[in-house]
């Protein structure tokens, strides 16, 4: 799998870990020794980023042989054999931490996404979305992991969808004025989503025929009332510090989407270990 952002991040990651010298410990101890190392899962969850893991080893030493036993989307349990790397011991150890860091980060996102999607499906079926709350430079990787976990990507940036938020509304004077400016500028080139803070704003947004309404920090009861104001053409998105327990409460309200920022900004790493043979 090719990702231009990953290639840039990988260059930086290896540069900060190895500089021009490399792993001074492993190069001294192992010299030209050869080995076979095995990657094992230490957690339960969803694997994501295995090809990025492979690319790290090949970048460090193209002569390394990497065999993959589990594909992205696989359900892992502790002790599962995920991959095997053969070649110079020093090269394997130079790539080890960077490769596992990427894999742990992405598998953590995919695992949490899978849990959120399951919670939504069991309680009304709302679609789980990610957000732009990502580590700078890691957005495409993070959103890839969300998709592996069964989630759906929201807009990738500020360039591919109009989202009129509170600051835009306040600066324009009203939702009507903000939507009017957007339509004058882009003439239907982009889908329009409007963030609404109360039912009055929902009514206004519905009357304008926007594509989607984000219900910002409304409780489940108010969210259900907002959805009932829809005309059948607008979709609704619940947002605001969402997590699994809140998803269980908001999915039955009838919202079409639930956006979960924590998927890409505060999920724990998935635990792997690499054992040298």
- The CATH fold assigned to 118-265 is TIM Barrel (3.20.20)
Candidates 3.90.1170.20, 3.30.200.20, 3.30.450.20, 1.10.357.10; CATH matching 4-109+268-276 = 3.90.1170.20
Mean pLDDT across the stretch 35-45? 99
DSSP string, 210-277: -SEEEEES--HHHHHHHHHT--SS-EEEEESS--HHHHHHHGGGT-SEEE-THHHHSPPPPPEEEEE-
Inform me whether the pLDDT recorded for 8 exceeds 90: yes
Contacts of 244 (CB under 8 A, 6+ apart): 115, 116, 119
> What rounded mean pLDDT belongs to the chain?
97
Give residue-wise pLDDT tens across range 143-152: 999 999 999 9
Residue 206: how many other CB atoms lie within 10 Å? 19
> Given this model, what pLDDT does residue 236 score?
99
Mean pLDDT across the stretch 227-256? 97
Mean pLDDT across the stretch 166-171? 98
DSSP string, 15-35: HHHHTTT--HHHHHHHTT-EE
Pairwise CA distance, residues 194 & 153, whole Å: 18
pLDDT band at 1 (very low <50, low <70, confident <90, very high): low
CA 43, 76, 41, 129 torsion: positive or negative? Answer: negative
Where along the chain do its domains lie?
Answer: 4-109+268-276, 118-265
Pairwise CA distance, residues 216 & 199, whole Å: 11
Rounded-to-10 torsion of CA 238, 213, 166, 136? 60
Residue 95's nearest CA partner among 33, 137, 37 is 37
The residues annotated with a catalytic role in the active site are: 97, 133, 165, 195, 216
pTM of this structure: 0.96
Residue 203's nearest CA partner among 173, 221, 168, 229 is 229
Q: Are 33 and 88 in contact (CB under 8 A)?
A: yes
Mean pLDDT across the stretch 120-136? 97
Inform me whether the pLDDT recorded for 2 exceeds 90: no
Point out which residues pair with 257 in neighbouring strands. 127, 237
Give residue-wise pLDDT tens across range 204-240: 999 999 999 999 999 999 999 999 999 899 999 999 9
Mean pLDDT across the stretch 178-187? 98
Residue 243: how many other CB atoms lie within 10 Å? 16
Mean pLDDT across the stretch 56-64? 98
Q: Are strands 162-164 and 192-196 parallel, antiparallel or unpaired?
A: parallel
CA within 13 Å, CB half, 90? 14
């Amino acid at each position: 799998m090719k990702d231009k952002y990953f290639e840039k991040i990988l260059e930086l990651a290896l540069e900060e870990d190895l500089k021009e010298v490399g792993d001074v410990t492993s190069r001294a101890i192992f010299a030209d020794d050869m080995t076979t190392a095995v990657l094992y899962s230490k957690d339960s969850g969803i694997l994501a980023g295995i090809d990025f893991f492979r690319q790290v080893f090949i970048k460090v030493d193209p002569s390394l042989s990497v065999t993959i036993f589990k594909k992205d989307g696989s359900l892992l349990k502790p002790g599962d054999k995920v991959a095997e790397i053969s070649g110079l011991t020093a090269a394997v150890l130079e790539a080890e931490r960077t490769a596992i860091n990427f894999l742990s980060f992405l598998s953590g996102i995919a695992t949490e996404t899978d849990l959120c999607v399951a919670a939504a499906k069991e309680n009304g079926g709302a679609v789980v979305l990610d957000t732009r709350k990502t580590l700078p430079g890691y957005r495409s990787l993070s959103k890839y992991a969300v998709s592996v976990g069964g989630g759906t990507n929201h807009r990738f940036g500020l360039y591919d969808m109009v989202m009129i938020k509170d600051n835009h509304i306040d600066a324009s004077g009203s939702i009507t004025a903000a939507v009017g400016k957007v339509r004058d500028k882009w003439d239907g080139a982009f889908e329009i989503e409007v963030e609404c803070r109360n039912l009055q704003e929902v009514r206004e947004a519905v009357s304008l025929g926007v594509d989607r309404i984000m219900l910002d920090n409304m409780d489940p009861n108010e969210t259900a009332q907002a959805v009932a104001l829809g005309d059948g053409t607008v979709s609704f998105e619940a947002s605001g510090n969402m997590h699994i327990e809140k998803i269980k409460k908001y999915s039955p309200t009838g919202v079409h989407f639930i956006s979960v920022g924590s998927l890409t900004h505060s999920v724990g790493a998935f635990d792997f270990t690499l054992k040298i043979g």
